[in-house]
Amino acid sequence: MSSSDNTHPLVKWIDERLPVFTFLNHELRDYPTPRNLNYWWSFGSIAGIVLVIMILTGVMLAMQYTAHVDYAFDSVERIMRDVNYGWLLRYLHVNGGSMFFIVIYIHLFRGLYFGSYKSPREILWGLGVIIFLLMMATAFMGYVLPWGQMSFWGATVITNLFSAIPLVGDSIVSWLWGGYSIDNPTLQRFYALHYLFPFLIFAVVFLHLVALHVSKSNNPLGIEAEGPQDSIPFHPYYTAKDFFGFGVFFLVFMGFVFYAPDFFGEPDNYIPANPLATPPHIVPEWYFLPFYAILRAVPDIEVFGYILITAKLAGVILMFGSILILFFLPWLDFSKVRSARFRPIFKQFFWIFFVDCLVLGWVGANPPEGFFVVLGRIGTAFYFAYFIIIIPLIAYFEKPRPLPESISAAVLGGKKGEDS
């Protein structure tokens, strides 16, 4: 439609044979975007730039790192002390991981609040959940590579989760390990997969964007953009807005990199891995804490005095279930209204759910004793009740506020848009 802009003869010549310029114009310039997106919508592209930074720093680190139990820890220390700017690359990569999760969690809660998962964006949402799962796997394996105490014991605890699977559990665990314990074969395969997975993420992100560009962005009002008066071209309006978002984000990111590079880390991971001594308190990285709390929440499930499901298996099922349930959200929430702005009851429960996730994170960071056991169980119960009971009930009973006629009517107050 705007390939006519490509006037340069060489551009035209290439475009007629491989329409990259038409494609870029269509998807990044003219791409019609709702005119009312707020800054919560910047986090998708921020996540994109973080992925690029992670791959870039990761490739540079891979040139210096040695994936062997005898050398891994020392090679990381060498990166920190001897390699030119090695400290910078590593701190960018380490803190970039934490930033990635912060950004993705904001992106995810934005989707939950504004109902971005609803028809016709179910697959867009599902692809996002797949990206989240891949990210968790990548982050987990990456954390093992420095081969410190938390690397080793975190890996031990998480891989042992699979032994909860009835019958084949132990075979799966020794298959994952390539031995009888976490050892050199495990480290080497985690390194290989940690290098592979970001490219899988990249591929799914591409599909995520294809799906996005079919249904277009949701917006704070949660109503579809109907005509040209509801949309503005992506460039320059949202490129400018996104770049401003990048700037603010980089201030925070670099603040950690330069002033508190070990803020998110565990001191124990600066002790080389020792298979014969468990640290007194194993905690996963902060971004896994709510799921860790869910893992530890359930007791044995007994029926007439017989243990039907052991605490271990039940914990594993719930932990994976807590993420898999997100796939079903578009159908659990069958309310036609997307945005929480027009859903008074949903809005309140959304914030309770948000606090519940923070509480679960707090529980996950503490030893499973006394008060925290009770709190973890209540938090877990609410987490699942929110999706399975509360959301469908709200969808059924809630009377949403009246929706505005159109995006332009709501944001321009009846005035005509400049470019309509």
Partner 1 sequence: MTAKAQDTGAAGDDETRRDFLLLTTGVVGAAGAALSAWPFIDSMNPAADVLALSTTEVDLSPVEAGQSITVVWRGKPVFIRHRSEQEITAARAVDLSTLRDPVPDEDREIKPQWLVVVGICPHLGCIPLGQKPGQPRGEWGGWFCPCHGSQFDTSGRIRKGPSPTNLVVPPYQFTEDTSIRIG
Instruction: Outline where 25-178 has alpha helix (H).
Output: 43-62, 72-81, 86-113, 122-144, 149-160, 169-177
Please report, as residue ranges, which positions from 348 to 367 form the binding site for partner 1 (by CB under 8 A).
367
Q: Choose the catalytic residue: 241, 333, 356, 408.
A: 241
If one asks whether residue 189 binds partner 1 (CB under 8 A), the answer comes out as yes
DSSP states along 269-295: GGSB--TT---SS----GGGHHHHHHH
368 touches partner 1 by CB under 8 A: yes
227 counts as binding partner 1 under rule CB under 8 A: no
Query: Residue 219 CB, nearest distance to partner 1 (Å)?
Result: 44
295/172 Cα distance (integer angstroms): 19
The answer to whether residue 26 forms part of the interface with partner 1 (CB under 8 A) is no
Long-range pairs, 210-213, Cβ under 8 A, ≥24: 211/121, 211/123, 211/124, 211/127, 212/124, 213/27, 213/31
Collapsed DSSP state (helix, strand, coil) of residue 303: strand
241 classed as catalytic: yes
Q: Residues 105 to 144: which contact partner 1 by CB under 8 A? A: none
Q: Which of residues 307-346 bind partner 1 (CB under 8 A)?
A: 307, 310-313, 315
| Annotated active-site residue in 15, 242, 268, 356 | 242
Q: How far apart are CA 147 and CA 138, in angstroms?
A: 16
Should residue 377 be labelled a site residue for partner 1 when binding is judged by CB under 8 A?
Answer: no
| 194 forms part of the interface with partner 1 (CB under 8 A) | no
Catalytic residue at 183?
Answer: no
Do 234 and 33 contact (CB within 8 A), yes or no? yes
Least distance between partner 1 and beta carbon 271 (Å): 15
- CA 267, CA 149: separation in Å to the nearest integer? 9
Query: Which window, 53-61, 76-84, 154-162, 261-269, contacts partner 1 (CB under 8 A)?
Result: 154-162
- Tokens 């529980």: give the residue: 363
Q: Is 38 in the site for partner 1 (CB under 8 A)?
A: no
CB 21 within 8 Å of CB 14: yes
Rounded to the nearest whole angstrom, what is the least distance from the CB of residue 276 to partner 1 in the complex? 5
Check residue 221 and report its DSSP letter: T
Q: Which of 297, 321, 320, 301 is nearest to 310 (CA)?
A: 301
- Check 213, 216, 312, 347 and give the catalytic one: 213
Q: Does 183 bind partner 1 (CB under 8 A)?
A: yes
Q: Does 160 bind partner 1 (CB under 8 A)?
A: yes
Instruction: Judge contact between 335 and 346, C-beta under 8 A.
Output: yes
Among 2, 38, 119, 278, binds partner 1 (CB under 8 A): 278
Region of residue 283 (left: phi > 0; alpha: psi -120 to 50; beta: else): beta
> Is residue 159 at the binding interface for partner 1, with CB under 8 A as the rule?
yes
# binding residues, partner 1 (CB under 8 A) = 39
Q: Is 213 a catalytic residue?
A: yes
Tell whether residue 267 is a contact of partner 1 (CB under 8 A): no
Catalytic residues: 213, 217, 241-242, 285
Binding site for partner 1 (CB under 8 A): 153, 156-161, 164, 174-181, 183, 185, 189, 275-282, 296, 299-300, 307, 310-313, 315, 367-369
